Amino acid sequence: MTETFRTPDGREVPAVTAAGMREVDRVAVEEFGLALLSMMENAGRALAAHARQLADGSVTVLAGGGGNGGGGLAAARHLANRGVPVRVVLDREQRAFEGAPATQLEVHRRAGTPVEVGQDALGEPSLVVDALVGYSLDGPLRGTARDLVAEVGSLSAPVLSLDVPSGLDATTGELPGEAVTPDRVVTLALPKTGIGVADELFLADIGIPPAVFDAAGIDYENPFDADWVRLVAD
């Protein structure tokens, strides 16, 4: 576990466990009234910007049914808006999506974005965006999510993960089963204690005010001068 990270100019950034990040999200939504769709949109915009740095052609976005998948779906829309050829591949049928991720998916349906399910739909992209499972992972990946991750491992395209690599325990860094090996990770709000293994780690600002972290009991100093900052393990 990595307890702290630093920005290139030396500012210390605390890392949180999955439980700690869950509490931050709860405080942000329930006590401060931040909209989940708003935070998801900020995550997707940052992720899309990094994808554009890494891609030199089409992009395949892998999206799960939770908040991580919703951020990936938002990123896919931002990429499409910039003229990047995008394919969305889901780990479950569209009818199984609920809440904010379902809202993001409905926009793609209306916009005509190619949306498919399962590993046979991956294609041959120049970049894979991994937004299958975030910090909520509990045990090994299963079913279609596991199959997608296994298939990604056979591709030559680089992989960009949102928040934490799918299959990685966000708290401990353990790999209980199949897991993505990303070339870059864009983590959200605060780094997670288990992702010290990432070679290229960036922290994205998703619009959570510092007062939220204070209310969640986290000693926090704003590290952002821009929409994201690079991090190194302490």
Q: For the chain, what percentages of helix, strand and coil (3-state, to nearest 5) are there?
A: 35, 20, 45
CA 227 and chain centroid, separation: 15
Please give the pLDDT value at position 198.
61
pLDDT tens digits, one per residue of 192-208: 999 975 669 999 999 99
Helices (H), the chain: 18-26, 36-54, 67-81, 99-111, 143-152, 210-215
Measured between alpha carbons, how far is residue 187 from residues 44, 198, 200 in Å? 11, 10, 11
- Indicate the DSSP class of residue 188: E
* Torsions phi, psi for 116 (to 5 deg): -135, 175
Q: Which of 200, 184, 183, 208 is nearest to 40 (CA)?
A: 208
How many CB atoms within 10 Å of residue 8? 9
Ranges of residues in the chain whose predicted pLDDT is under 50 = none
Alpha-carbon span 207 to 42, nearest angstrom: 7
> Count of alpha carbons within 13 Å of 8, Cβ hemisphere only?
8
Give residue-wise pLDDT tens across range 134-146: 999 989 999 999 9
CA distance 201 to 82: 24
pLDDT of residue 161: 97
- Domains (ranges, CATH) in the chain? 4-233 (3.40.50.10260)
Predicted TM-score of the model (pTM): 0.96
Instruction: Determine whether 208 is exposed, middle or buried from the number of CB atoms within 10 Å of its CB (0-12, 13-18, 19+).
Output: buried
